[in-house]
Structure 1
Amino acid sequence: MHRETEARPGPFGAQPPTHGPRPHRIALLFNANKVYDREIVAGIGAYMGSTRAVWDLFMEDDFRCRPWEMEGWGGDGIIADFDDPEISKALSQSPCPVVAVGSSYASPADYPTGIPYVATDNLQLIRLAHEHLLSVGITEFAMYSAPLNPGNRWAQEREKAFATVVGGPNAHRAIFRGEATHASGWQDAMSKLIVWLQALPKPLGIIAVNDARARHVMQACLIAGLAVPEEIAIIGIDNDPLTQTLSRIPMSSVIQGTQEMGMTAARLLHRMLCGGRECSAPVLVAPAGIHIATSSQHQALRNPYVMRARHYIRQYAAQGIKAEQVVDYLGLARSTLDAYFRKELGHTVHDEIMHTKLAKAKELLLDAQLSCASIAIQCGFTTLQYMHAVFRRELGCTPREYQLSQRTS
């Protein structure tokens, strides 16, 4: 047991102890350039901040992971991403305690033996996405996965979960792995994805294995003129802020319990370092929730012009388009399109554009770092005063009052 030394008075009074418990040296082997890994590392940090764990952490300066360089490191413990087969292989005979973090497996035999394992629950991730799509009236489902690859075992496990959740003899046929993303083959990959999407029954719900693949589906739909979410409702997994930024239509996504995974992994390692018993069974962590956005908010519409108009508005409302541009795009008279909108939705084309801008502004107001003036520009309002007028008319409050109400609710 480590023993702290007694503090001795110095020239400026009592000084803190010069010696104490030696910090444990812990390596975090994650590719922290990925949002999934970063959030797990954040969970580890949250555990350290809430306990008396005194750890000196080692991570590569560029946030990439190089397990083959760990030989001779001589630390006290490791928490590592075992979705990477190189890490799993490199640490199988580690002399110091290791806690693995990664994907859940349908077969218990696929988990590493003799190593505590904290897993994202793939079955629950897919089930949550499926239940959401069911709730908006979708009855046909497909999955956009990732190519077979040792580093993509998590994707194949989500395919198994999809087949289990959706069920039926055609579940496996509704899975498309597509191509790996390479600049030279991007056009060909998009073409194949579009052909697959066009052949499927509509309306359709697509569950993508992660947000990056969900963005591919979104791009393919925009290229092919498939209305999102009226014809194809899309939901990803990860709730990656970068994907949200890059998507013309806001993307729905299942939120993994990554911070809880990191905290659980740190708790298990801390217990081992203090002489506690290892956890023999994998610990499955359920998803933290779901971020619901436009891409999956399917609404059954009978009129194809209304469907196409809404698809166009979702893409370009924030650029300040007006109703005239929508009717020009469709080749209809303004009065005709307004009549279609009133029959289907109970409001006009102009109202639809305004509602879309307002929805985006409400979402951006959740970010306290953005000014109201900046939000007005990003949402396509001509002036800040105009955005204020819309908020007062539609919500009975100013943008700042709405922001404050969301913080306290």
Structure 2
Amino acid sequence: MQKTPHVALLIETSREYARGLLRGVATYLRERGPWSIYFEPHGLDDPPPDWLVDWKGDGILARVNSREMADEILATGIPAIDLRGALVGLELPFIGVDNRPIAKLGYQHLRDLGLKNFAFCGTPKGENPNQDLRCQYFVELVEEDGAQCHVLLGEQQRQRAPSWEDQQQQIAAWLEDLPKPVGIMTCHDDRGQQVLDACRRASISVPDTVALISVDNDSHLCNLSTPPMTSIDVNPSRIGFAAAEMLGKMMRGKRPAQMTTLLGPPRGIAARRSTEMLAIDDADVELAIRYIRENATSGVRAADVVAQARSRPTTLERRFKSILGRTIKAEITRVRLDRAKLLLAETELNVSAIAVRTGFAEPKYFCEVFRKHQGVTATEYRKRFRDA
């Protein structure tokens, strides 16, 4: 009888990203398991568990956040994978998200609001390489379009961490100096919630003056924020599944093909009130965009959108394309497909039902449009991106 592998999961439960990793591992176990799991709830900054020193298991999946944790894992000699990526040069395989498409999705979402001013709020440089890259890619995208990106990263911790009040005052002062209206991306939901709180302190209206998008889509934190916070779902369960799959191979004696594996793109954007802004000077185009976003999934056509405006159809179409870079029809299709992708990933609705709910006349036409724009069928997309 084949021995059941004993695997330790040193993954915190306090963050949505980490919980998503665990869901991915659970999916792997349902499909390929079983494993005997060593797991106890803990925080990201907790020290290594006492039992790890003498543990005789077969594999470890860990969110390594300190040199102490890294050294104890390496000392075991057991096959292990890092799911944090916080330590540069760590001698463990790392699996994580590709931050370039995350930054691109965030920037495009803010740019589509008609914004011309952009900013990024992150954590101190060097604290986490992944968050550094998220900022770097966002800044590059803004600058490629000929704009300036204002950045606040905070200071490295010296003897003691700055208090919450000190951090909020620093963020509020930064916000007051930004050109407005402004679109802000934050490195993760924790930072996004801080920025929204600082906006209230500085009497800066969200989303009228500031539009904010964060990363990780922790629904509890996003909905506790005022206003509720738009966030990018990076699909962490996919990372967890891939890590479990790699660890399974390592426990069978196979070495990983590479030390760093980045998976993407993100699943999509969970749009909430923090980005319900349209910073567009053209009243007719703004009205058309709002009408599309509110009614695209009800089966509206370009003619219905034009009928809402005072401008002549050809004039509105020209101005619309000049501002957004796409036609009215293309914008309707984009909004419908964004909704369809979320339904494919988060529900059990069949493709025909999703076609109806997203405003497509026929399932066959929906499938054709989806494949044309996404490069895969709707069924393939669901299999690739749905949560565990």
TM-score bin (small chain): 0.5 to 0.7
Runs of at least 5 residues in structure 1 that lack an aligned partner in the other structure: 4-20, 303-342, 344-366, 369-409
Which of 125, 146, 150 is matched with 1:174 structurally? Answer: 150
CA distance in 1, matches of 2:280, 2:254: 59
Question: TM-score under structure 2 normalisation?
Answer: 0.64
CA distance in 2, matches of 1:86, 1:231: 44
- 2:1 is aligned with 1:23: no
- 2:107 is aligned with 1:130: yes
- 2:53 is aligned with 1:71: yes
Aligned to 2:40: 60
Task: Report the RMSD for the aligned CA atoms in angstroms.
Answer: 3.3
Q: Which deviates more from structure 2 when the two are superposed, residues 205-214 or residues 188-197?
A: 188-197
The CA deviation string for residues 249-268 of structure 1, in whole angstroms up to 9 with x for no partner, is 12100111210000000000
Contact 2:121 2:186 in 1 (8 A): yes
CA distance in 2, matches of 1:167, 1:91: 41
Which of 120, 135, 158 is matched with 1:159 structurally? Answer: 135
Letter aligned with residue 60 of structure 1: E
In structure 2, relative to structure 1, the CA distance for the partners of 1:201 and 1:172 (3 Å cut) is closer
Aligned to 2:70: 88
In structure 2, relative to structure 1, the CA distance for the partners of 1:93 and 1:149 (3 Å cut) is same
Which of 5, 16, 21 is matched with 1:40 structurally? Answer: 21
User: Percent of counterpart pairs with the same letter?
Assistant: 28
Matches within 5 A, 1:144-223: 144-148=121-125, 150=127, 152-167=128-143, 174-178=150-154, 185-223=163-201
CA distance in 1, matches of 2:271, 2:201: 23
The CA deviation string for residues 148-188 of structure 1, in whole angstroms up to 9 with x for no partner, is 564x4433232222333323699897211236999983333
In structure 2, relative to structure 1, the CA distance for the partners of 1:27 and 1:178 (3 Å cut) is same
Letter aligned with residue 146 of structure 1: T
Q: Which has the higher contact order (CA 8 A, sep 6+)?
A: 2
* Offset, 1:85: 4.2
Aligned to 2:367: none
Aligned to 2:267: 288
Matches within 5 A, 1:2-401: 3=1, 21-51=2-32, 53-62=33-42, 65-67=46-48, 69=50, 70-103=52-85, 110=88, 112-113=90-91, 115-148=92-125, 150=127, 152-167=128-143, 174-178=150-154, 185-286=163-264, 287-300=266-279
The CA deviation string for residues 269-288 of structure 1, in whole angstroms up to 9 with x for no partner, is 11222333423242211122
Contact 2:8 2:57 in 1 (8 A): yes
Letter aligned with residue 241 of structure 2: M
CA distance in 1, matches of 2:239, 2:98: 10
SS of the residue aligned with 1:102? Answer: coil
* Offset, 1:147: 3.0
Contact 2:121 2:185 in 1 (8 A): yes
Question: TM-score under structure 1 normalisation?
Answer: 0.61
SS of the residue aligned with 2:95? Answer: strand
Contact 1:104 1:122 in 2 (8 A): no
Letter aligned with residue 153 of structure 2: R
Computing the radius of gyration over CA atoms, which structure comes out larger, 1 or 2? 1
CA distance in 2, matches of 1:98, 1:194: 42
* Offset, 1:247: 1.4
* Offset, 1:301: 6.8
